[in-house]
């Protein structure tokens, strides 16, 4: 089961990015007001307004390392499958 977890982690690493610029923004009140009913006080909700969006770029080093590790796992499992098939055939006398 550990191998499945490792493969899942490596698959996530294939899409990893580096943040070049963090998102910047501020909160603004919306037009949606609600009254409390008791003291008739309006409470305004706010929403996040983005001033500068987050900029990212692919982490090519980590992606390439993950790709190579996944390829190694695939090659090893393919070799092991062929080995087991030959062993089974030998036991069954094929």
pLDDT of residue 46: 87
Other Cβ atoms within 10 Å of 46 Cβ, number: 11
**pTM of the prediction?**
0.57
| Residues in the chain where the model's pLDDT stays below 70 | 1, 32-43
Model confidence over 64-77: pLDDT tens digits?
A: 999 999 999 998 88
pLDDT of residue 20: 93
- Distance from C-alpha of 71 to C-alpha of 77, rounded to nearest angstrom: 10
- Distance from C-alpha of 82 to C-alpha of 74, rounded to nearest angstrom: 12
pLDDT of residue 34: 58
pLDDT of residue 33: 57
């Amino acid at each position: 089961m550990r191998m499945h977890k490792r493969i899942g982690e490596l698959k996530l690493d294939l899409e990893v990015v580096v943040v070049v610029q963090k998102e910047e923004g501020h909160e603004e009140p919306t037009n949606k007001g609600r009254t409390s009913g008791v003291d008739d006080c309006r409470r305004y909700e706010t929403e996040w307004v983005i001033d500068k969006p987050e900029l990212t770029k692919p982490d090519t080093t980590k992606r390439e390392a993950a790709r190579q590790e996944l390829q190694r796992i695939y090659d090893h499992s393919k070799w092991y499958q062929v080995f087991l098939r030959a062993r089974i055939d030998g036991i069954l006398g094929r």
